Amino acid sequence: MKPVLEHYTVEQVLEGFVFNELEGKGLYGLDGRLVIQPEYQRHYIYGDGRRDVAVIDSLLKSYPLGLIYFNVDRENDRLEVLDGQQRITSVGRFVTGKFAIKVAGKEQVFSSLPKDDQQKILGSELTVYECEGTETEIKEWFQTINIAGVPLNKQELLNAIYSGSFVTKAKAEYSNSNNAHMQKWQAYVKGDPKRQEVLEESLDWVASSQGKSIDAYLAQHRHDTDIAGLQTYFTSVIDWIGSVFIRPPDKEMRGLEWGRLYEAYHSNSYKAAEIDKAVDELRADEAVKSAKGIYEYLLGGATSPRLLNIRLFEDRTKRAGYEQQTQKAKAAGVSNCPLCALGTDNNKTRIYKQNEMDADHVTAWSKGGSTDLANLTMLCQTHNRAKGNR
């Protein structure tokens, strides 16, 4: 792929510019020959009164906007913006009166600017690399170029590589903040739909259930004209969560690995009312340090307390253990660290102060050992660390 360097004025690029307010997209330029937002591109995210305004300020100060890349689609005699969509859309929206900037403390829209400033914007030269390439080459471009200072995330990149009917339909469903179900989904799924993070999660769930990567799943379905498989799986997971946990979603339920949990547990049966009560109890239990772990803990039949990150020994338990152990050690003339007492060096008879020792579970807590005096041993810090690292 040999990029060709071209120069356009802003006026040329914006000829026939259309911005779709509903979808938040800049659509066309260069008199219809330039697709400003191909389907794999992210939505317009510069419309925040800061980044869009900065683009206009740069033009008025005659600063360059930076390199812009177009992809040449020879088959359809079109150009697609590979990198520069946010900048071009910002200028296009300004010139068509969609937002104002402050000049010397005064709000100005394009039409209220002095003529010479208008000319400065329209006459600004854009430096464009026009590239023609295969899928793989375009993929490499995307990985090396920094899209307008905001690198494409993983899913945005995948959407570019596997652009086609499937991605278009999947985006319409899962990357659309106006989807009526989005609020319900977002109680469980973390991320910004506009940055393709809900789409990514939905794909991850269905792909993982088939032992595939998102990449492989998209490659396989790229030219599908419906997304039924993706939708059915996603809905099954969401509905299952709501049937097991009947409570209004707790904030800790957002962003759990629901796809994995569904695969592991959905064929078990649960008594929803009992689960609900257990969730309440665990949430109220001060020893439970990880509220996020409660849901998997209960799905797994309350067998893995490590998921709850239970608080370790209470201070008074440690003190009692220390006193008991130290008295015995002194009487026997050995160290109060039982591991030091087994050794042959100077520490064999050393009596540590309590603040030089740490509490350790005799039977590991992860193996079901309890957190009480009977299962406590105080070790010097060196030995406790060594044990913890095993």
Q: Please, what is the minimum distance in Å from the beta carbon of residue 383 to Zn ion?
A: 4
How far is Cα 240 from Cα 218, in angstroms, rounded to an integer?
25
The candidate with the shortest Cα–Cα distance to 85, out of 140, 128, 41, 51, is: 41
Beta-bridge partners for 20: 25
How far is Cα 338 from Cα 382, in angstroms, rounded to an integer?
12
Q: Nearer Cβ to Zn ion, position 48 or 345?
A: 345
Segment interacting with Zn ion (CB under 5 A) among 83-91, 205-213, 336-344, 368-376: 336-344
Q: Nearer Cβ to Zn ion, position 25 or 383?
A: 383
The answer to the question of residue 329 lying near Zn ion (CB under 5 A) is: no
Q: Please, what is the minimum distance in Å from the beta carbon of residue 332 to Zn ion?
A: 15
Segment interacting with Zn ion (CB under 5 A) among 67-75, 180-188, 252-260, 333-341: 333-341
Q: Nearer Cβ to Zn ion, position 54 or 339?
A: 339
The answer to the question of residue 376 lying near Zn ion (CB under 5 A) is: no
The residue within the footprint of Zn ion, chosen from 10, 340, 357, 378 (CB under 5 A), is 340
Q: Please, what is the minimum distance in Å from the beta carbon of residue 344 to Zn ion?
A: 13
Segment interacting with Zn ion (CB under 5 A) among 129-137, 215-223, 259-267, 376-384: 376-384
Q: Tell me the chain's radius of gyration from C-alpha atoms.
A: 31
The residue within the footprint of Zn ion, chosen from 337, 357, 359, 378 (CB under 5 A), is 337
Q: Nearer Cβ to Zn ion, position 164 or 343?
A: 343
Beta-bridge partners for 130: 4, 70
How would you list the strands of the sheet with 18-20, edge to edge? 4-9, 125-131, 68-73, 78-83, 34-35, 25-29, 18-20
Q: Please, what is the minimum distance in Å from the beta carbon of residue 333 to Zn ion?
A: 16
The answer to the question of residue 383 lying near Zn ion (CB under 5 A) is: yes
Q: Buried b / exposed e across 262-278, counting CB within 10 Å, b at 16+? A: beebbeeebeeeebbee
Instruction: Confirm if 162 and 227 have CB atoms less than 8 A apart.
Output: no
How far is Cα 25 from Cα 155, in angstroms, rounded to an integer?
19
The candidate with the shortest Cα–Cα distance to 118, out of 7, 8, 11, is: 11
The answer to the question of residue 87 lying near Zn ion (CB under 5 A) is: no
How far is Cα 330 from Cα 328, in angstroms, rounded to an integer?
6
| SS3 label, residue 114 | coil
Which H or E run contains 103? strand 101-103
Beta-bridge partners for 178: none
Q: Nearer Cβ to Zn ion, position 221 or 383?
A: 383
The residue within the footprint of Zn ion, chosen from 278, 339, 354, 356 (CB under 5 A), is 339
β-pairing verdict for 25-29 and 34-35:
antiparallel
Segment interacting with Zn ion (CB under 5 A) among 186-194, 225-233, 256-264, 381-389: 381-389
The answer to the question of residue 380 lying near Zn ion (CB under 5 A) is: yes
Segment interacting with Zn ion (CB under 5 A) among 114-122, 215-223, 317-325, 337-345: 337-345
Q: Please, what is the minimum distance in Å from the beta carbon of residue 325 to Zn ion?
A: 12
The candidate with the shortest Cα–Cα distance to 72, out of 85, 63, 82, 62, is: 82
Q: Nearer Cβ to Zn ion, position 191 or 338?
A: 338
Q: Where do contacts with Zn ion occur on this chain (CB under 5 A)? A: 337, 339-340, 380, 383
